[in-house]
Chains A and B, each alone.
Chain A
Amino acid sequence: MYLDPDKRVDLATAASYVHDGHMIALGGGLSARLPMAMVRELIRQGRRDLHVVGSAHSMDVDLLIAAGALAICEESYVGFEQDLGLAPAYRRAAETGTITVKESCCVTILTQLRAAEMGLPFLPVRGIKGTDMRRLHPEYAETTCPFTGEVLVAVPPLKPDVAIIHAPVGDAFGNLFMEQPYVLDEHFAGASKSVIATVEKIVPTEELHDRGVVIPGYFVQAIAEVPFGAHPASCYPSYSYDRAHMSTYVQAAAKPESADGYVADWVNVPGGEDEYRNKVGAESLTRLTQWSESIDQWKGLFS
């Protein structure tokens, strides 16, 4: 438990808790609440050989791969849905063998996190048998139910070194409020050795209590305020996702040279996140915050 009453740090300090070779869990999912600012900072700091675990993700994982920071990918999905298609860097790395793919299933990951949360050596799942998933996971085993005799697949606990979670608001102690879907964030917090949080805004604890605590601060080791810290993913209620920027990334990531170009232009910039936001532009960012003004405004962000 992390009981320091004031855990506020800057982004670079927060990122320093993640070490080369760590198993990390990235919060949010698909196009929502991805901890993109922390992902960019880890790349700036040259982190290597990371092992990422989680459910369905997109640009967070793909960008780490494009920048050469990832060694093992244990997600249930990495891609840009039907809209923008397969994840270019993930696909290239998997097809050329430059990362180890340990693709998993949402239920299996959830079960493994629950085992870690409960301090248990394993838990069973009813699925997996008959599929090819165990070819990717020699660590799974079988267990026989002592009551019914049913043979089930046993999976070990998953204890990430660091969970990296982005939320709209938090307080100095690290309590976090977020909107649904929480995805696996609550379980990441309970199963991981440490949580590093970024938030749009750090607010007084009373104000946070009015919104409601979703992730309790005792799981959180450090918290950094980073406006637009999920961009180009969404962070409702603050802003919608930036489909145009995601599309720019997907096009750039299609080839190694242009993927390097994206990392050089948008990530490895001397001014860090301030420069990133300036490059995206105040006008674009403001437009993303105006999703709630009308249905047409909201819909217009996606056309």
Chain B
Amino acid sequence: MSSYTFDEWYVIRLARTISDREVVFHGFASPCAQVAMHVAKRTHAPNMMLIEGAMYAINPDPPFIPPTSNDSSLKRGAAYSMRFEEFFDAAIRGDVDRMFVSGGQIDMYGNTNVTAVGPLERPKVKLGGGGGGCNISATIKQLTLWTTRHRSGRTIVAECDFITDIGHRTPAGTREELDYTGGGPQCLVSELGVFDYDSQGRMRLQELWPDVTVEQVREATGFEFAVADEVIPVAPPTQAELDVLRAIDPLGVRRGEFDPREMEREFDLVGAGV
């Protein structure tokens, strides 16, 4: 029986948020999302249009995923390299179906903070910044949110100290009230569970990893979240998905997103070789 590690399963779960024939984009500094897109393209979503973040290369065939997101290896074999403005124009006019978004803080409505933790004038932590997320989170059709730092207790919070990218609603109003054409966050995949959003735009637990309890999720979350009537276990990866993942990410750049203790989570592949 072969085994796999949590980072592998996590990235494969992220990949499964993508549907075939979607136009999908990831930002820079997002190796889990980046690897997930390549896994989806090579498994269940062969006709997706994969836009490689920071290269704006369409459907490339990189020999490996490098640790920086604008290396030329990421445009090898690409059908086309969009100019910066070609991508962002497509995103703001509504031609991009899905984007992956994360943040140092994520609130119950899926707003994210990648700007600063603490008071803005003298932040406790100055984060790197949001790239283009502020504008394009308003217009891209669906957002997949992800975080590998839920367990810290500091990431999934009642309110963001600063809203960089927009979720379902902010104190200024709902997406509808703000004339935003995109649908907002569809799901949040964390290292503790998988969530969707209810009709009020609030986070709701849908799936759990088998080694996590609802109580552990509650302890790590800064607000009371809804729980689906039936919380199901995350579906295990297939051998084919694991093979593709290992081939595309031989340098293991995805692992850079995790706290080292998450790397100790190992699982057996049931039904391998069937």
Interface residues of A (CB under 8 A from B): 29-32, 55-56, 75-79, 81-83, 86-87, 90-91, 94-97, 101, 103, 105-108, 110, 125-133, 135-136, 150-151, 179-184, 186-187, 234, 236-237, 240-241, 243, 295, 298-299, 302-303
Contacts and interface: CB of A to CB of B under 8 A. Distances in A.
22 contacts: A31-B70, A55-B131, A78-B128, A82-B30, A82-B253, A95-B124, A101-B126, A103-B129, A105-B133, A126-B180, A129-B180, A130-B138, A130-B170, A131-B163, A131-B164, A180-B56, A187-B84, A234-B71, A240-B71, A243-B68, A299-B64, A302-B71
A150 B181 CA distance: 12
A232 to B, nearest CB: 11
Contact of A179 (B72, B92, B126, B130): B72
A126 B70 contact: no
A181 B134 contact: no
B227 interface: no
A228 to B, nearest CB: 17
Dominant secondary structure of chain A at its interface with chain B: mixed
Given A55-B131, A234-B71, 16 more contacts: A75-B129, A82-B29, A97-B121, A103-B130, A107-B92, A125-B135, A127-B136, A127-B137, A127-B138, A129-B179, A129-B180, A131-B170, A180-B81, A180-B83, A240-B71, A241-B71
Contacts of B131: 55-56, 76-77, 105-106
B162 interface: yes
Contacts of A108: 134-135
B190 interface: no
A187 B84 CA distance: 10
Interface string B151-187: 0000000000011111000101100001111000000
Given A107-B88, A182-B83, A299 B71 contact: no
A126 B250 contact: no
B126 A91 contact: yes
